[in-house]
Amino acid sequence: MYEVLWVADALSTSSISATPIKVPNATRTINDMVSKGWELHSIVPGTNAQTYSGLFLTFKRD
């Protein structure tokens, strides 16, 4: 079984550096889903005008 969620989390190009940047909404969602027994399967950035400010998170469980 799979569950796909879109999470609003955006970074601007001015915030990109060699230092890792926290992505709080995605992190919170991942931790919540994992605590409920889901396994993170993939993370994909949104690519069009409606989704570019977020990430698609796919989870799976048996």
- 12-61 confidence digits (pLDDT tens): 666 566 777 788 999 999 999 999 999 999 999 888 888 888 999 999 99
Matching residue, tokens 């796919």: 58
pLDDT at 12: 64
Cα torsion angle, 16, 19, 24, 30, sign: positive
pLDDT at 20: 78
Burial of 59 (0-12, 13-18, 19+ CB in 10 A): buried
Domain count, the chain: 1
Cα distance between residue 14 and residue 1, in whole Å = 38
Containing structural domain, residue 33? 2-13+20-60
pLDDT at 5: 97
pLDDT at 15: 59
Sequence-ordered alpha helix ranges (H) in the chain: 24-35
Is the pTM above the cut of 0.85? Answer: no
